[in-house]
Every structure is written in C-alpha cells, then in structure tokens.
C-alpha cells in the first residue's frame, strides 16, 4: 500500500532518518522543518498521514496539530505526534489536541509501519464514505456530523479484562465523563454482550488467561454488528510483536500497561468521536440513497426506481415462465378533491391510500408512485385473476375508508379506479403497462370506482364488481 507521508521535524538528521525508513517501505515522503512550513505544505497537497515532532521552535507540534484539526480541509488527516519525551502528560496533551497517535523516539520501526498502515487504512475508509455522501444528495451531512461527533457522553463501552483493578480504574474514569461501561472478564460472555448491545468502543486486554485477546478482536471484526466498532487493546509495554499483529488485523488503538487514566479518557474519546463521525457519514449516505429511490409524499418507491425495477422483475419472471401481474390505481376525481378541499387535503389522500393498500398486498408486491395520483403495484408470481381479486379488495377498502382530513369537518369519500394486466411469454414492460392503462381508461369511461383486468388478447377477465 503506497501512501503520502509528511514528516515534520526541526532537526534535519531526524527528518532524513524517517524519510529513509519510509522510502525503503515505498512510501512517498515530503518533509517540513517547522510547523508553519508543514501547514503550507499540507495546503499544497493533502498527505495521507503526518508524522509531527512535538518540540519545535516558534510553533510547536501541539499548536500545529491544533491548527490542522480545526481546519475542515485538513481535520481528517491522521496525525502521529513524535517526541523524545516519554512523559505521559505530554502524550495526553497531544491526544487532546486531536493527534491520532503518539510515537516516542527512538522510533520502533515495526510499530511505526503498523501504525501508519492502520491509520492510512482508516483514512481510506473515511474518504470513501465522504465521497459517497457527496455523490448522493448531500442531505445535511455536515450539520449532522458536527452535532454528533463532539459529544461523547452516553457512549457505550465494553471492557473485557481479567484484571479487576485495571478494569475498575478504566471503568470509573469513563463513567466520570458520562459514558456507560460494561465490564466482563469472560470472552464468551463478551461475545454475547456484543450481540445484544451496540457498543461505541470495545476495550480488550491481551492478558487473558484463556487467550491473547486478539482472537476475540478477530471475532468482533468478522461479525456484522461489530465490524465497524472501534477496538482498543491493552498491551504489555514490550510486546511489540502482538501489537503489530493487532494493528494489522484492524484494531484501532492500544493502551500500554501500567495504564494512565488520562490517556484512557483521551484515547476513548477519540475512538468514540471517530465512530460517530463514520456512523453519521454512513447514515447520511443511506438517507441520500433512500431519498433517491423513494417518493417523499407517499413513502412508496418513486417512478425512476419503478422503471428500473419492473424491467428486472419482468425479465426474471419470463425466464422462469412465471406470471407477473401489474395494476395501475388512479384516484377518482382527484382534481375535485384538490379544488374543493385544497391541495393539502389532496396530499393527505395520497399519503393515506398506500397505508390502506398495504394491508391488501403481500410484502413481496412492489408499489410505487407512478404519476400524480397514480400508484403502480407489481405482483410477482400472480395470475391475472388473482391480481384482479387483490385489486378489488383494495378498491373496496378505499371506498369504505373514512378520510378524516384535518380541519375540514368530517370524513370525505374517496374512490379509486384500477386497471390490471398480467405478463405473457413474449411480453415487454411497455406492453404490460399499456394493457393495464387501457383497462384503467375503460373503467374511467364507464363510471369509475371499479376494477378492469385485460388479458393480452384484450379480453376482459374480471371487472365491474361493485
Ligand atoms: Mg524537535
């Protein structure tokens, strides 16, 4: 995997050393020797990750990081703080300024590359989601994200740890900042809990007597419900090998024992924010997908989606020699309803008809808003006379439904006319629709509030039930 890395350090030999290491692993490297230079560099070309020295004259790493993270253009670039200091307080400060991780000099190569891979992979995912959001309808994405990510209260955390003192220390610290914490020492129990609740973060100790904890992490990664749940492992200081294994299999972060409470809080907050950010992106994507195929008024599929879908359904039915039926429902005298009671009442009628209809069709039937006051229903594996019976039930229940429209004093009557057709061996969608359309016109011209079903030869199969 190739990625662009920006190395920032005020000491030239440090820059050169990191540059050489990264280039040997085929990373593309750019460098900067001050915070200001780094910010300028980033504006020119966005890197995939930034390795940022803490101790620099003029603008230090913390301030540089703060500026990067507060600019929407650069906020998503993962930042790894690099320092000679091993002071935990410094680490926490970096994380509070929005840094994604911390490395201490001299840098351990394995940890460095594993960390970069893991962060670059995560950024790739976020970029992809953002792109999908953009190609969608851009429905309130930024507002939603902003409001969701910054508040980490109420987050649900699961801790899997046999060390009672350690899990209590973490649990209490997280509860203090308003998070819900579940604790279990038992991996099978943890699996059960993860199937029952949606956690925002799962913390797994790698010092379990039964396991190294990573098997449990692999399990969480493989399950639908926890596939995107951030995983944080608790690991012994010198167990680099296990850490690299963990990062490669997709854990998001780690804590080194003995644990510092402030670091727990900082890292947990970062993971929860990231999860909420991704959830928000994902749901806004789903929302734009939903809006692209649904009709907002009736909550039925829209015409565009209907056109695509009926084509596919018809083809598969013909190939399996199964009958596909189609009905076109038109609200009688809809213009009069609009003129008499107003357009809001007309809308209300259109909103309610699908709700009445839905009780008379099967879940596998496919309903869409076909035109202004026309609704189309496609019925898989249904013969013409069966479809005509369904149509008649729909007609009857709408006729008997009291449309109590708000503010209009009492119920109004509303009826529908329905034309039905069914597929034949050499059919195509326009012929199928056109036969239903003809049947519908026949009803419209002969008194409305009726059902007509036309076979392919133009014969009426059933109609005129009242
Ligand atoms: Mg320095």
355 with 427, same domain?
yes
Ligand 1 mean position to 239 CA, how many Å?
Answer: 27
Q: Please count the structural domains in the chain.
A: 3
Instruction: Give the pLDDT band of residue 139 (cuts 50, 70, 90).
Output: very low
Centre of ligand 1 from the C-alpha of residue 61, in Å: 9
The model's pTM: 0.57
Average pLDDT over residues 100-111: 79
pLDDT, tens digit, 9 for 90 and up, residues 206-217: 988 887 899 999
User: Is 72 or 290 the better-scoring residue by pLDDT?
Assistant: 72
What would the pLDDT profile of 370-394 be if each residue is shown by its tens digit?
999 999 999 998 999 999 999 999 9
Ligand 1 centroid to 131 CA: how many Å?
36
Contact assessment for residue 211 and residue 167, using Cβ atoms and an 8 Å cutoff: no
Q: What is the pLDDT of residue 129?
A: 61
**112, part of any domain:** no
Q: How many Å lie between the centroid of ligand 1 and the Cα of residue 54?
A: 6
What CATH number is given to the structural domain containing 81?
A: 3.40.50.2300
Residue 130 lies in a domain: no
CA of 60 to the centre of ligand 1 (A): 8
- Position 141 scores a pLDDT of 44
Ligand 1: centre distance to CA 65 (Å): 14
Sign of torsion over alpha carbons 390, 391, 397, 400: negative
Structure token pair of residue 352:
């309610």
Does residue 274 register a pLDDT over 60?
yes
**What is the distance in A from the centroid of ligand 1 to the CA of 34?**
9
423: domain CATH number?
Answer: 3.30.70.270
- Residue at 118 is within a domain: no
Find the helix packing angle between 261-293 and 109-135, rounded to 10°.
30
Ion ligand 1 residue ranges (Cβ < 5 Å): 10, 53, 55
Contact 110, 240 (CB under 8 A): yes
Ligand 1 center to residue 83 CA distance, Å? 7
Query: Does 128 fall in a domain?
Result: no
The CA 2 to ligand 1 mean position distance, Å, reads: 27
Asked about 408 being catalytic, the answer comes back as no
Buried b (16+ CB within 10 A) or exposed e, 194-218: beeeebbbbbbbbbbeeebbbebbe
Let me know how long the chain is: 466
Contacts with 101 (C-beta within 8 Å, 6 or more apart), sequence order? 78, 80, 81, 115, 119, 253
**What confidence tier does 105 reach under pLDDT thresholds 50, 70, 90?**
confident
215 & 304 share domain: no
Q: Which of 166, 263, 348, 373 is catalytic?
A: 373
Query: What percent of the chain clears pLDDT 70, i.e. is strictly above it?
Result: 88
Residue 332 — very low, low, confident or very high, per pLDDT cuts 50/70/90? very high
Instruction: Supply the range of the domain harboring residue 176.
Output: 144-288
Task: Assess whether 199 and 268 both reside in one domain.
Answer: yes
Q: Are residues 156 and 192 in the same domain?
A: yes
């Amino acid at each position: 995997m190739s990625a662009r890395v920006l190395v920032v350090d005020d000491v030239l030999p440090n820059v050169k050393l990191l540059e050489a290491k990264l280039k040997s692993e085929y990373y593309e490297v750019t460098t900067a020797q001050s915070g200001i230079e780094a910010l300028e560099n980033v504006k020119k070309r966005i890197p995939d990750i930034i390795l940022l020295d803490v101790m620099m004259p003029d603008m230090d790493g913390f301030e540089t990081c703060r500026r990067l993270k507060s600019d929407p253009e650069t906020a998503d670039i993962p930042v790894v703080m690099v320092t000679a200091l091993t002071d935990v307080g410094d680490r926490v400060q970096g994380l509070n300024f929005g840094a994604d991780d911390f490395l201490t000099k001299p840098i351990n190569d394995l940890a460095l590359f594993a960390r970069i891979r893991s962060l670059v992979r995560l950024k790739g995912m976020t970029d992809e989601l953002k792109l999908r959001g953009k190609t969608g309808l851009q429905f309130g994405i930024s507002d939603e994200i902003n409001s969701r990510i910054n508040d980490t209260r109420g987050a649900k955390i699961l801790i899997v740890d046999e060390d009672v003192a350690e899990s209590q220390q973490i649990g209490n610290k997280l509860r203090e900042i308003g998070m819900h914490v579940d604790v279990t020492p038992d991996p099978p129990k943890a699996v059960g809990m993860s199937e029952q609740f949606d956690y925002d973060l799962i913390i797994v100790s790698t010092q379990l007597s039964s396991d190294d904890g990573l098997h449990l992490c692999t399990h969480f990664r493989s399950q639908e419900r926890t596939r995107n749940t951030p995983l944080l492992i608790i690991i012994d200081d010198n167990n680099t090998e296990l850490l690299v294994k963990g990062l490669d299999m997709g854990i998001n972060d780690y804590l080194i024992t003995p644990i510092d409470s402030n670091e727990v809080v900082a890292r947990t907050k970062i993971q929860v924010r990231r999860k909420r950010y991704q959830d928000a992106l994902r749901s806004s994507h789903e929302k734009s997908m939903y809006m692209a195929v649904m009709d907002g008024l009736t909550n039925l599929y829209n015409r565009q989606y209907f056109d695509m879908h009926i084509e596919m359904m018809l083809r598969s039915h013909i190939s399996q020699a199964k009958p596909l039926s189609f009905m076109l429902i038109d609200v009688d005298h809809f213009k009069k309803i609009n003129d008499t009671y107003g357009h809001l009442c007309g809308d209300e009628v259109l909103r309610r008809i699908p709700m009445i209809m839905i009780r008379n069709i099967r879940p596998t039937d496919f309903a869409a808003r076909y035109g202004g006051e026309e609704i189309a229903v496609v019925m898989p594996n249904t013969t013409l006379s069966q479809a005509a019976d369904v149509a008649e039930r729909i007609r009857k229940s709408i006729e008997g439904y009291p449309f109590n429209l708000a503010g209009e004093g009492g119920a109004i009557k509303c009826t529908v006319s329905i034309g039905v057709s069914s597929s034949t061996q050499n059919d195509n969608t326009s012929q199928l629709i056109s036969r239903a359309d003809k049947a519908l016109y026949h009803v419209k011209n002969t008194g409305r509030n009726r059902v007509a079903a036309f076979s392919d030869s133009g014969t009426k199969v059933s109609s005129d039930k009242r």
